[in-house]
Amino acid sequence: MFNVTIAPKEYIQHHLINLQLDLRTFEWVNESQNTSSFWILNVDSLFFSNILGISFLFFFVFLSKYMTSNIPEKLQMFVELIILFVEDSVKEIFHKRNKLIAPLSMTIFIWVFLMNFLDLLPIDFLPYIVQYIFGVSVLHVVPSTDINIVLSMAIGVFFLMLYYSFKHKGVCGFIKSLIFYPFNHPLCIPLNFFLEIVNLLSKPVSLGLRLFGNMYAGELVFILFATFVPWWCQWIFTVPWAIFHIFVIVLQAFIFMILTIVYLSIACEED
């Protein structure tokens, strides 16, 4: 609910900043000094992303102990459908035998979906609870709207791409793929190298920014509704947008997973 004592600009900015800790002094960063730096940790994004990841792992480990080959319960059927969906996606794109790709894809899909799902909570719900209990006035709930979180995941995929490229192509093969493609001529080596480096570096950037941009825009719409629409009729706007946003959060998790599989499949090509 919009606090009428706060100006709209301040309210919007308040919901778009993170709870930050300065590792150099181990002091909390003031709301007015909120910034990005190597020594600054976005504590709220790290907390929610890790809690969701750990909860996902514990849930699947707990469920695996009670799975049965007889008539499964509804929860087991739901999880099996997700596993089969991810497995089929991997088989259609990744044609080599690899024990990491399917579990990695499953983890990415569920983890990104859970982080996106927090965007459906009322924007003042968790911040109000945390402020009431701990006295913390700043809290950014959705980790996938934090550029640091999404780019760190994309960079992790990028390092896996490099690892599999060196593993399947070798150092010489990887260098050749950068300098002799797409034009297989010695005179085109500088042009090839420039094009392939740009293509290589653009993959993690586009992977992370696509997720960040879509989720950030969705969260901003919710904030605008809470800012300018009276509380007694907010549901008229927020409910349809939330229903549409369910499709967005699933789609963004799916796209992040599919692009990860595609990039790793390309990295594993030996030719």
User: Which active-site residues does the annotation give?
Assistant: 206, 210, 214
Q: Which of 50, 260, 218, 30 is nearest to 143 (CA)?
A: 50
Residue 89 and residue 265 in contact, taking contact as beta carbons nearer than 8 Å: no
- Alpha-carbon dihedral angle through residues 12, 13, 19, 22, given to the nearest 10 degrees: 170
Residue 112 and residue 144 in contact, taking contact as beta carbons nearer than 8 Å: yes
Q: Report the b/e string of 23-39 with b at 16+ CB within 10 A.
A: eeeeeebeeeebeeeee
